[in-house]
A and B are shown apart, each in its own frame.
Chain A
Amino acid sequence: MEKGQNVDQWREWDAYYSPFDPCSPRQKYYLIPPDQMTTFQSAGLKQYSPHEALKRGTLWPDLYSPYPRGAKEGTR
């Protein structure tokens, strides 16, 4: 998982694991994308440079959600 900015978009939880379950347990994760954390975007938020914004798909770091491939696999 990408370290530093926006890593706290991930949440962990444990599914019930029975001693009779056939496979070894795996940590469960889900992602809360940054749009979930505001109801109405406030004005004057920090912005990326124009070039960086074009690459990332948003002008605002607060709205950026990284999704590196295999993000759910790397933290354990």
Chain B
Amino acid sequence: MWIYEKKLQYPVRVGKCDPRLARLLIEQYGGADGELSAALRYLNQRYSIPDRVIGLLTDIGTEEFAHLEMIATMVYKLTKDASPEQMKAAGLADHYVNHDRALYYHDAAGVPWTSAYIQAKGDPIADLYEDIAAEEKARATYQWIIDNTDDPDIMDALKFLREREIVHALRFREAVELLKEHREQKKVF
């Protein structure tokens, strides 16, 4: 079970009315390498992974939901007061006709989220390598979004999120090292 704290993991401030940026940020909401994919991937892999790394997947998977909330907050702030004309000017007319200003799990190009983005192979090395790759791809995505904004407040939150991807990637690589070790093996004759 989870305990919910009604606050964001890191404060999200949006300093500039730029609905166009919402369209780019949504990549990290419902995109292949976004926070929803990350959270669901890690929490699902926990069941069949060796017990030594279950806790890590729980912790990181949970944190990804906290990141998802931060992205949602940014998107919401950028679109909640936008007029249909502003939505259209931001390239969000297609979104508007389908969802109004509601958030939806799709990527920056409007492709809806699919579980085909995530894998659970049952092989711990294959699963952890997917996780490492996902973190590096999410880090890169944050970089390209940062390149597309001049709002220092948004940049601040995105830089925090980008740094978390770096830390997560290292934790997953440490998990690989743990699994390489031989534990005293039970010998049954």
Interface, chain A (partner B; CB < 8 A):
8, 11-16, 28, 30-33, 36-37, 76
Interface residues of B in 148-189 (CB under 8 A from A): 176, 179-180, 182-183, 185-186, 188
* Prevailing SS type, chain A contact patch: mixed
Contact partners of A16 in chain B: CB under 8 A? 51
Asked, given contacts A12-B185, A12-B186, A76-B188, whether A32 binds B179 with beta carbons under 8 Å apart, the answer is yes
Chain B nearest CB from A45 CB (Å) reads 19
Asked, given contacts A28-B50, A30-B50, A76-B188, whether A11 binds B125 with beta carbons under 8 Å apart, the answer is no
A sample of 23 inter-chain contacts (CB < 8 A) reads A11-B179, A11-B182, A11-B183, A12-B185, A12-B186, A13-B50, A13-B51, A13-B52, A13-B183, A15-B51, A28-B50, A30-B50, A30-B124, A30-B125, A30-B179, A31-B123, A31-B125, A32-B125, A32-B179, A36-B125, A36-B176, A36-B180, A37-B180
Contact partners of A76 in chain B: CB under 8 A? 188
